[in-house]
Amino acid sequence: MEPDELVSFVPMDAVGQNGGLKLGDTRELADVYEGYTYFANGDLCIAKITPCFENGKGAIAERLTNGVGFGTTELHVVRPGPGIDRRFLFYVFIADDFRKIGESEMYGAGGQKRIDESFIKDWMPPLPPLETQRRIAQFLDEKTACIDGLIEKKRALLERLAEKRQSLITRAVTKGLNPDAPMKPSGIDWLGDIPAHWEVLPLKRLVVDGVGLQMGPFGGMLTDLPDYDTGYKLYGQENTISGDFSSGSRWVEYDRYKALKRYEIIEGDLVLTRKGSLGNCRRVPGNIVPGIADSDTIRVRPRHKELLPEWALLSLHESVFVEEQISVQKRGAILSGLNTSVVALLLLTVPPTNEQLDILYALDKVLPSFDDTVKKVRKSIASLEEYRAALITAAVTGQLELNTVP
């Protein structure tokens, strides 16, 4: 090939789970020849790094530009020989036994664990005759396509449920419950009219003076943390994204906790993520281990006489109204992250607190039905994924009777 000829370029996020490559990106050969993994049409690409390997990231390379692809160095490339069907071999590589045993053979630490090339070279799957391999691969192509179709429909249902739920919340926190209430212009084009007795205020006017908005400590304040339970926790994005403040194993000593007490989180506080997954928000529950928030979060402490924590949580975490404001900030905050100056200017609708309670009570009556349906759909998806994995493993390891394979 000539140096200026185009080839497909495949980063890791373009490698599908259980198959498929996104081939929208091309590069000139000279730009990728050094420093990337190369492969050709018909090769198998298998992720080597955690968690991509365990998640089954891999694909058969097909329809590559000029028949050639270059991509992430975190791929192993396997070129099937004449005695094995490439589709059958691909199913071998995404089967449970290959991935689970491979996971136990990974080397490295933490998020940098990898599967060595020798594990793939030394893998000894049971190989039926070539014609049987093709029949098994055809059987799995058809069965997994049906299962994947069902999974996609259920995922589409989850998206529709999420949109309907968010729309319901957004309407409640911007228009209220009374459709006949007198309205007034909010002065904000994308918000429109609001009930006449409501206000629209920046968050900085609704929080406790001095400590209402607090970004976690930076620099050397959180270095050399103890690796044992001190009774004082360091809370971060993992707690805010999951909403689980009982998880995590980062600790600070009492003296450091006392010195950094201004960063403490207590029941009724809200904590926002400020980096990566921007703008996730959770309410701090009661009975948590005493602790402080880290530098990837912003603590919000509402003045309860004007802003109930539950109302603030709905507005900040689940309404399109605030999501739109945060999305504008994301363009400039992907690297630097949100900061208290930005969060202070987020606008919230503020009805009287007794009306906040009424709306929260009304939503508590209808939202659980959405959440129950979502749980059932997710459980169904998990069951289908388990069945898919079990079917593949059974087919490529000889556990299916041949007469069940057309």
Q: Which of 112-116, 126-130, 320-324, 377-381 ranks highest by mean pLDDT?
A: 377-381
pLDDT value for 399: 85
For 25-42, write each residue's pLDDT tens digit. Answer: 999 999 999 999 999 999
Check the CA dihedral 219-221-226-228 and report its sign. negative
CA distance 94 to 99: 7
Spatial neighbors of 81 by CB under 8 A, at least 6 apart, are none
CA gap 190, 180 in Å, rounded: 21
For residue 151, give the nearest of 377, 330, 317 by alpha carbon.
Answer: 377
Map residue 195 onto helix, strand or coil.
strand
Q: Model pTM?
A: 0.78
The larger pLDDT score, comparing residue 41 to residue 326, is at 41
CATH number of 6-125: 3.90.220.20
What pLDDT is recorded for position 328? 67
Q: Are 337 and 305 in contact (CB under 8 A)?
A: no
**Tokens encoding 61:** 């390379």
Tens of pLDDT, residues 155-198: 999 999 999 998 998 899 999 999 999 999 988 887 889 999 99
Extended beta strands in 50-162, E state: 58-60, 68-71, 75-78
**pLDDT at residue number 277:** 64
Give the domain ranges of the chain: 6-125, 199-350
CA of 192: how far to CAs of 180, 315, 328, in Å? 16, 16, 18
Q: How far apart are CA 13 and CA 217, in angstroms?
A: 33
Common-topology check for domains 6-125 and 199-350: yes
Determine the average pLDDT of the residues in 35-51.
93
Q: Mean pLDDT across the chain, nearest whole number?
A: 89
Is residue 306 within 8 Å of 280, Cβ to Cβ? Answer: no
What architecture (CATH level 2) is domain 199-350?
Alpha-Beta Complex (3.90)
Give the pLDDT confidence of 69-128 residue by residue, as tens digits.
999 999 999 999 998 999 999 999 999 889 999 999 999 876 688 999 999 999 998 899
For residue 201, which of 357, 334, 101, 311 has the smallest C-alpha distance?
A: 311
